[in-house]
Amino acid sequence: MKLAQRVGRIQPSPTLAITAKANALRAEGRDIISFGAGEPDFDTPANIREAAIRSIRDGFTRYTPVGGIPELKDAIIEKLRRDNGLAYGRSEIVVSCGAKHVLYNLAQALFEEGDEVIVPSPYWVSYPDIVLLAGAAPVIFETREADGFKVTPDRLEEVITGQTKALILNSPSNPTGATYTFDELKAIADVIVKKDIVVISDEIYEKILYDGFPFSSIAMVGEAVKRRSVVVNGVSKAYAMTGWRIGYAAGPEDIVSAMTKIQSQNTSNPTSISQKAAVEALNGDQSAVGEMVEAFAQRRDYIVASLCGIAGISCFNPEGAFYVFPDVSALYGKTYKGSVITGSASFAEYLLDVANIAVVSGAAFGSDAHIRLSYATSMENIREGIERIGNAVKKLG
């Protein structure tokens, strides 16, 4: 069958692929430790699960308004006010089936052929493909490890052209964990306003920050940039709710209403039951979030220090999210039994074959010098896994 050309323009999500591969090898009996997961290893907190069960018992099982139930929109409005000092009305909020779906609808609402969208690299794997599916061109903006993997305003200004429609920012970042300060965002906001482009701010890791690093959204900088910002967030990462599929956007009414229109012709509303659970996540007891972040913080400290202890690996210390993105390029060109490590994909393959370790190649995120490890796995797995990586590296000649 001849498929539509758009299918050939994109790739299946490489992070979901590595998780599937690790699971398949495990099913064959191999003792795989996976650092591939892009989701918290905790259960959804009990109060949230109970809220969902209650909603089923109450028969809250029908279609809801396309963009989300008023109760959830109000919980989101209150969250944005409480946590970020941002004021929005119901017509400026849309709830979708996960932040990924939010981004997809947003791209469909905003981008078309001829548009350029600036995607800083290392980037979350889905950004370029979501832009491509909308017919626009992702313009990859390489950040430097020396700049903390961050966009700097002067370099940003240089890549903006007459075709530039938007910049996608992700802070804290998947895969690097880099997080912008308020002042850094303020400098970027000046460029956004001056060049009159849109900024898409993916804040899904807002709650997962370490060492007291304060979270800032670019929309907090001022009214002029807020009018050009679409804040994207969700409950997946903060509340260990990846399977529930609830994400949301807050932004200018015309954009939000276009996203809602598009959603009305693809999924209709997000799941009624999940919406009730998300209300509880946002309004209910927040203590589980802090407990998860504390566990992530201990793991981060251990994994960064132990990776840095392996000769040939250097590791950037992430301020947020639950990934490390070590530079392993010093190992390229080395060999094992005659086969050469040529880059991040080949190193990832080597770790899987020789050490039963699953990681994602940096190339999938736009940086072949690195690999990504998720530390959303137990301390026991992390200890054993890093030891295996160390031994595998020692075998290279």
Ligand X SMILES: *Cc1c(COP(=O)(O)O)cnc(C)c1O
Residue type at 360 in one-letter notation: V
Nearest distance from C-beta of residue 311 to ligand X, angstroms: 30
Stretch that binds ligand X, among 60-68, 152-160, 183-191, 233-241 (CB under 6 A): 233-241
Nearest distance from C-beta of residue 100 to ligand X, angstroms: 3
Please tell me whether residue 152 binds ligand X under the rule CB under 6 A: no
Please tell me whether residue 207 binds ligand X under the rule CB under 6 A: no
Which is nearer to ligand X, 219 or 310 (by Cβ)? 219
CA atoms 248, 252, 257, 262: torsion sign: negative
CA distance 204 to 208: 9
# binding residues, ligand X (CB under 6 A): 14
CA distance 243 to 256: 24
Q: Residue 284's closest CA among 67, 69, 50? A: 50
Nearest distance from C-beta of residue 204 to ligand X, angstroms: 4
Please tell me whether residue 174 binds ligand X under the rule CB under 6 A: yes
Please tell me whether residue 172 binds ligand X under the rule CB under 6 A: no
Which is nearer to ligand X, 184 or 202 (by Cβ)? 202
Please tell me whether residue 36 binds ligand X under the rule CB under 6 A: no
Q: Residue 196's closest CA among 157, 169, 170, 228? A: 228
**Binding to ligand X (CB under 6 A): which residues in 85-114?**
98-100
Question: Which of 67, 120, 234, 318 lies at the binding interface for ligand X (CB under 6 A)?
Answer: 234
Stretch that binds ligand X, among 78-86, 156-164, 236-244, 275-283 (CB under 6 A): 236-244
Please tell me whether residue 247 binds ligand X under the rule CB under 6 A: yes
Question: Which of 64, 164, 236, 367 lies at the binding interface for ligand X (CB under 6 A)?
Answer: 236
Question: Which DSSP symbol is given to 271?
Answer: P
Which is nearer to ligand X, 170 or 179 (by Cβ)? 170
CA distance 165 to 218: 17
Rg (CA), the chain: 21
Nearest distance from C-beta of residue 73 to ligand X, angstroms: 17
Which is nearer to ligand X, 242 or 272 (by Cβ)? 242
* Matching residue, tokens 């993105």: 325
DSSP assignment of 72-89: HHHHHHHHHHHHH-----
Residue nearest to ligand X (CB): 98
Stretch that binds ligand X, among 1-9, 153-161, 230-238, 379-387 (CB under 6 A): 230-238
Please tell me whether residue 124 binds ligand X under the rule CB under 6 A: yes
Which is nearer to ligand X, 270 or 385 (by Cβ)? 270
Question: Which of 37, 75, 156, 204 lies at the binding interface for ligand X (CB under 6 A)?
Answer: 204
Q: Residue 177's closest CA among 376, 331, 345? A: 376
Give the x-and-dash track for 353-382 against ligand X (CB under 6 A). ------------------------------
Strand partners, 250: 93, 231
Mode of pairing for the β-strands spanning 360-361 and 371-374: antiparallel
Nearest distance from C-beta of residue 281 to ligand X, angstroms: 12
CA torsion, points 299, 394, 33, 177, in degrees to nearest 10?
40
**Phi, psi of 34, deg, nearest 5:** -105, 125
Query: Which residues, at least 6 apart from 36, have a Cβ–Cβ distance to it below 8 Å?
Result: 15, 18, 19, 22, 358, 359, 360, 374
**Phi, psi of 154, deg, nearest 5:** -65, -45
Chain residues binding ligand X by CB under 6 A are: 38, 98-100, 124, 170, 174, 202, 204, 234, 236-237, 242, 247
